[in-house]
């Protein structure tokens, strides 16, 4: 009975979570006269005939007139460049903190962790100043370079690297392998769970990031999907729910696809990140 009650509670919670998403997706296919009705309907059906009355015009509008088409492309290429580069830099830094002894290593790592206690909102002005000084303001590099490293990801990767037996690396050193070769051939293949977690969480964060693109870009041609969606809501057409829901569906569907494809890797990676140690 206890197991049955748990499953019933989980099913109810899942329904509460899924219904708003399904309603958003259904509304994105509706016409204006099918949204504000006396009797709400999940599916876009004709009120007289009961037949399917969905349309793709809402998506065509937000992709073309609403500017979400170009913003979608910008978000894709920003994530395609930023996430792999960030993963490489964070992994190299984490390996150095975990395995390479150098003067002040532990103190520097503690200072980095202390920086996580500083609210991110207080760092926006210095980051914008540095971005302007480097000539990357209002450019594609301004969206990528300031976000190319993460202390949290370095911490997670370091904790996992510490759990890898040193004997494997010592054996590689005896065979004549250098540090970089050990990193590529020994450490990274054994770190797939945590690498998957860092990759997926970085993609989700930067795909949904609104604040930094809003502050660092003025050119509409550089706007990412969250920023374009926010401007769609603020536009005169923002009061039309079917346009907003179509734009929201475009922003959410890639995230849902990534979570569904890599769900097992996320759970497995969280179990082996070393947070408990």
153 and 104 both lie in a single domain: yes
CB contact at 8 A, 216 and 131: yes
User: How do the pLDDT tens digits run along the chain, 277 residues long?
Assistant: 888 999 999 999 988 888 888 888 888 888 777 777 666 677 776 666 666 767 888 888 888 887 888 899 999 999 999 999 999 999 999 999 998 888 988 899 999 888 888 888 888 888 999 999 988 998 889 999 999 989 989 998 998 898 888 888 888 888 888 888 888 888 888 888 888 888 888 998 999 999 999 999 988 888 999 998 888 888 776 568 888 888 888 888 888 888 887 777 666 666 655 444 4
Torsion, CA 82, CA 84, CA 87, CA 89, rounded to 10: -80
For residue 124, is it within any domain? yes
For residue 73, is it within any domain? yes
The last residue of a domain, from among 55, 80, 101:
55
The last residue of a domain, from among 27, 55, 83:
55
147 and 49 both lie in a single domain: no
Looking at residue 204, which CATH number applies to its domain? 1.10.3720.10
pLDDT at 73: 92
pTM: 0.83
For residue 129, is it within any domain? yes
67 and 167 both lie in a single domain: yes
47 and 169 both lie in a single domain: no
pLDDT at 275: 44
In total, how many domains does the chain have? 2
The angle subtended at Cα 130 by Cα 81 and Cα 120, nearest 5°, is 75
206 and 222 both lie in a single domain: yes
The last residue of a domain, from among 32, 55, 78:
55
pLDDT at 237: 63
For residue 277, is it within any domain? no
235 and 115 both lie in a single domain: yes
Q: Decide: residue 240, CB within 10 A, 0-12 exposed, 13-18 middle, 19+ buried.
A: middle
For residue 211, is it within any domain? yes
For residue 66, is it within any domain? yes
Range of the domain at 263: 59-271
CA distances from 202 to 22, 24, 52, 149 (A): 26, 25, 39, 10
Q: What gap in Å lies between CA 12 and CA 126, rounded to an integer? A: 46
For residue 161, is it within any domain? yes
pLDDT at 23: 86
Return the CA Rg of the chain.
Answer: 24
124 and 146 both lie in a single domain: yes
pLDDT at 212: 92
153 and 241 both lie in a single domain: yes
28 and 131 both lie in a single domain: no
Q: Which residues pair with 45 in a beta bridge?
A: 52
pLDDT at 88: 93
156 and 246 both lie in a single domain: yes
17 and 71 both lie in a single domain: no
pLDDT at 34: 72
49 and 111 both lie in a single domain: no
Smallest CA-to-CA distance from 209 within 253, 265, 255, 152 is with 255
For residue 276, is it within any domain? no
DSSP collapsed to 3 states, the chain: CHHHHHHHHHHHHHHHHHHHHHHHHHHCCCCHHHCCCCCCCCCCECCCCCCECCCCHHHHHHHHCCCHHHHHHHHHHHHHHHHHHHHHHHHHHHHHHHHCCCCCHHHHHHHHHHHCCCCHHHHHHHHHHHHHHCCCCCCHHHHHHHHCCCHHHHHHHHHHHHCCCHHHHHHHHHCCCCHHHHHHHHHHHHCHHHHHHHHHHHHHHHHHCCHHHHHHCCCHHHCCHHHHHHHHHHCHHHHCHHHHHHHHHHHHHHHHHHHHHCHHHHHHHHHCCCCCC
């Amino acid at each position: 009975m206890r197991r049955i009650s748990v499953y019933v509670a989980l099913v109810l919670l899942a329904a509460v979570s899924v219904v708003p998403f399904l309603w958003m997706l259904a509304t994105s296919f509706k016409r204006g006269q099918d949204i504000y009705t006396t009797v709400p309907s999940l599916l876009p059906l004709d009120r007289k005939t009961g037949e399917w009355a969905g349309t793709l015009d809402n998506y065509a509008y937000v992709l073309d007139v609403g500017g979400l088409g170009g913003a979608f492309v910008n978000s894709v290429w920003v994530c395609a460049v930023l996430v792999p580069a960030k993963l490489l830099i964070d992994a190299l830094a984490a390996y150095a903190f975990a395995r390479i002894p150098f003067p002040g290593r532990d103190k520097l790592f503690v200072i980095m962790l202390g920086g996580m206690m500083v609210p991110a909102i207080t760092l926006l002005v210095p980051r914008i100043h540095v971005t302007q000084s480097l000539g990357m303001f209002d450019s594609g590099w301004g969206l990528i370079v300031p976000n190319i490293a993460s202390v949290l990801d370095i911490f997670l990767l370091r904790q996992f690297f510490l759990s890898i037996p040193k004997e494997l690396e010592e054996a590689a050193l005896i065979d004549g392998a250098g540090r970089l070769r050990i990193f590529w051939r020994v450490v990274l293949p054994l770190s797939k769970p945590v690498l998957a977690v860092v990759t997926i969480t970085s993609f989700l964060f930067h795909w949904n990031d609104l604040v930094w693109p809003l502050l660092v870009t003025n050119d509409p041609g550089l706007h990412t999907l969250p920023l374009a969606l926010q401007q769609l809501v603020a536009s005169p057409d923002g009061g039309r729910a079917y346009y907003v829901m179509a734009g929201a569906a475009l922003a959410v569907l890639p995230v849902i696809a990534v979570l569904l494809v890599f769900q097992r890797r996320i759970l497995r990676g969280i179990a082996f990140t070393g947070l408990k140690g």
